[in-house]
Amino acid sequence: MSLFSFFPTEVLFPYPVVCHATLELETNRKHPQDSSVNKFIIEETATLLARVAECQSNDTDLWCKARIVARTRDIDPLMVRFGFRERLLSEARDRNIIRRYLKVP
């Protein structure tokens, strides 16, 4: 999957969701600009992904929540630079995604 901003970008988004975001794009419309606005949107996207994962419920699949925030391949370097990985990890730690099942203090 790719991250979309009306036009599909070349930014890989390796999560099992479709993500639509309004981003400031470079003139080729394939890459988000390196801007504070885009950084804010990307970080908020990480928060939203963690919230969506926490809301999942399936008594027969204990990993359904974790599967939403588990990437399927490497995160695009642009997403790392914008703080997506750090925000997602922070949000996942603070939410009931796997802690309940693994008895993590």
Which candidate, 65, 91, 76, places its Cα nearest to that of 3?
A: 76
How would residue 30 be classed by pLDDT, with cut points 50, 70 and 90? confident
Tens digits of residue pLDDT in 7-19 = 778 888 999 988 8
Tens digits of residue pLDDT in 45-56 = 999 999 999 999
- Alpha helix segments (H runs only) across 56-83: 64-69, 77-81
